[in-house]
Amino acid sequence: MGRSGRKQNNIPLMIIVAIASWLIPGGGYFILKEHTRAAIILVTILLTFAVGLYIGTIGVINPVDAKPWYVAQLMNSPFVAILGGITSSGQWTVYGRPAEIGQIYTSISGILNLLCILKAIQSASVPYTARAGGQSL
């Protein structure tokens, strides 16, 4: 035990939670048995990403001309890289305001997922009884 009376951080669990959270938004919380939180995160991030794709089409995922936006979009899931491979050919060009709004929505969902990943890692580092409010479950 550390000085604060907590167990040491469980590094393998933290890594698994981080990878699961990136593969599927909310997946880390599912591993931590917080199913309601996992479902809320999954629905929120997927809907935000889907609205961005609906507004700006698949062309807003552009790894060639919009690299900073693409990095933020890539925080959603590695599956965004597959979409980036499809759109890198240049056949999905999109211009104007819909492209800008679509990039903003898809990038915000990626940044939101990054925040959820970091919070899930932090939750994995705390013993389960501490997360449950000190109650033994």
Exposure of 48 in the CB half-sphere (CA atoms within 13 A): 20
Distance between CA atoms of residues 49 and 26, nearest Å: 14
Question: C-alpha distances in angstroms, 113 versus 3, 29, 87, 104, 133?
Answer: 32, 12, 22, 14, 25
pTM of the complete model: 0.82
Q: What does the pLDDT look like over 14-41, one tens digit per residue?
A: 999 999 999 999 999 999 999 999 999 9
Using pLDDT thresholds of 50, 70 and 90, give the confidence band for residue 9: low
State the Rg of the chain over Cα.
Answer: 18
Q: What is the largest CA-CA distance in the chain?
A: 59
| CB-count burial class (<10 Å; 0-12, 13-18, 19+) for 53 | middle
Rounded to an integer, the average pLDDT of 41-61 is: 94
